[in-house]
Amino acid sequence: MTPPRSDAGHQSIRLHPAPTAPHRPPKEIVLLAVTGMTPAVVTETVWALAHEQPALIPHRVRILTTAAGKRCAEEQLHSVSPAFGERSVWETLRRSLLRDRRQQSHLLILEEIQVLGRPVADEGRMRGIEDVRTALDNEALADALLEEIRGITENPDTLLIASVAGGRKSMSALLYACVSLLGRPEDRITHVLVSEPFDSPGLSPSFFFPTKPPLEHTYRDPKTGGVQAVSSDAARIELADLPFVPLRLLFPRQIGSFPGHFTALVRSCSQQLASLTQKPRITLGHDRPTLEVNGSLVGLSGREHLLYAFLLDCPRKGTRPFLAQKNAIDALNQFRSRWAKDHPEGSFQHQAARGWEKCDTEDLRKLLSSLRRKLKAAGFTAELDYLLPRRGSFGIDVIPA
């Protein structure tokens, strides 16, 4: 089943005027769509994008579907039809939107339709899925979508538009989830809304977009049972943008090494989010220069230990952190002098304080860089924003034990 397509609750847009000259942004636009047995959602989405202000026309169009969906898409989009002047639907759409031969060479290129597949153990090969009906089918779909989106979003010269208008509800839901995990703020998720009766499967010929000249379509009125005629220029199409949270922004350091399987990626992100919501519990070593983070020890140098003791002073006292690194220099030098007096001469604390005659911004930069490396090596990458000072706040946000 395809998700309901109606314009209820939305302001309809009548698409009579020809689109303005296509605006080609510097990035390559890739439209990724999941479809079932209604490939018209792809042509309707392309048409709606071309009628935005400014017009937005994809360079490449990728369709991910089932084996049955591919047969349907190829038959409906590529077969020559008398209704379209002995041309295919896709060719007619391109001619309608691309008036310039130079545009036709690089815009609206429909790539080979991809069929979802999953491994068949008995045969030892991948086999195309006829329909998405089982948990294994959904898992294969999620992994395939994730790889498609990863390939697009890892390229800084692309812009992704993901259409969730077609296919089974699970296909749309998984596409939305994958874009939320790996999508960038500039990427889009869209759903196309078409007025009645142009969303009816019983319409003859099928509706794909408002043609020029308009086509006459017939359908059986569900109320009267009689056959009605309607012109394609009465169609109203609206493209709804679905907001999403780009979760990749929470993990800028880990994004390149995220797991490749959908379920593993969801688990990894959930663990990262859980760690972000809990402040690390910190203990400084007394007998040797160590830092204990949530029960795990990290070895430090004497100066690193002294600096971290200074950073812990604010959360222990409940005072506000310094606004900038330079504002902390004088306070750190005073803390260093007290540190030397408060510890016996033979201790590593006293030796570190006495050996550090006077700290400056360059000392701090080197020590913080070294601390960052050690904490990352110990597996505390997700907690770094808690454990080390950030821009605009020379302090840490931890629970001192």
> What CATH number should be reported for the domain holding residue 323?
1.10.10
Average pLDDT over residues 360-382: 90
**Is residue 17 in some structural domain?**
no
Same-domain check for residues 43 and 148: yes
Output the domain CATH number for residue 144. 3.40.50.10770
Same-domain check for residues 265 and 291: no
Residue 74 binned pLDDT confidence (cut-offs 50, 70, 90): very high
Average pLDDT over residues 135-142: 82
Instruction: Give the residues across from 216 on adjacent strands.
Output: 231
Same-domain check for residues 74 and 131: yes
| pLDDT of res. 5 | 47
**Is residue 11 in some structural domain?**
no
Lowest mean pLDDT among 16-25, 195-204, 325-334, 380-389: 16-25
Q: Which residue has the tokens 């899925």?
A: 129
DSSP letter string over 298-343? EE--HHHHHHHHHHHHHHHHTPPPBSSGGGGHHHHHHHHHHHHHHS
Same-domain check for residues 194 and 263: yes
Lowest mean pLDDT among 124-138, 234-248, 285-299: 124-138
| pLDDT of res. 130 | 83
Same-domain check for residues 316 and 248: no
**Is residue 14 in some structural domain?**
no
| pLDDT of res. 48 | 96
| pLDDT of res. 113 | 94
Given a cut of 50, whether residue 307 has pLDDT beyond it is yes
Average pLDDT, the chain: 85
DSSP state of 30: E
**Is residue 41 in some structural domain?**
yes
| pLDDT of res. 339 | 93
| pLDDT of res. 1 | 43
Greater confidence (321 vs 290) lies with 290
| pLDDT of res. 370 | 94
Tell me the range of 145-159, 218-232, 257-271 where mean pLDDT is highest: 145-159
Q: Looking at 219, 245, 270, which one is the last position of a domain?
A: 270
CB atoms under 10 Å from CB of 328, counted, come to 23
**Is residue 90 in some structural domain?**
yes
The reported pTM is 0.64
**Is residue 115 in some structural domain?**
yes
Looking only at the bridges linking them, the beta strands covering 216-220 and 227-231 are: antiparallel
Residue 342 binned pLDDT confidence (cut-offs 50, 70, 90): very high
Same-domain check for residues 241 and 283: no
Q: How many domains would you assign to the chain?
A: 2
Instruction: Give me the domain span that covers residue 304.
Output: 278-400
Given a cut of 90, whether residue 267 has pLDDT beyond it is no
**Is residue 12 in some structural domain?**
no
Same-domain check for residues 310 and 378: yes
Same-domain check for residues 161 and 43: yes
Same-domain check for residues 316 and 217: no
Q: Which residue has the tokens 């504002």?
A: 327
| pLDDT of res. 18 | 45
Given a cut of 50, whether residue 71 has pLDDT beyond it is yes
Amino acid at site 141: L
Q: pLDDT tens digits for 223-264?
A: 888 898 999 999 999 999 999 988 888 765 555 556 567 777
**Is residue 140 in some structural domain?**
yes
Q: Looking at 222, 242, 270, which one is the last position of a domain?
A: 270
DSSP letter string over 56-69? ---SEEEEEE-HHH
What does the block give as tokens for 61? 């169009």
Given a cut of 90, whether residue 273 has pLDDT beyond it is no
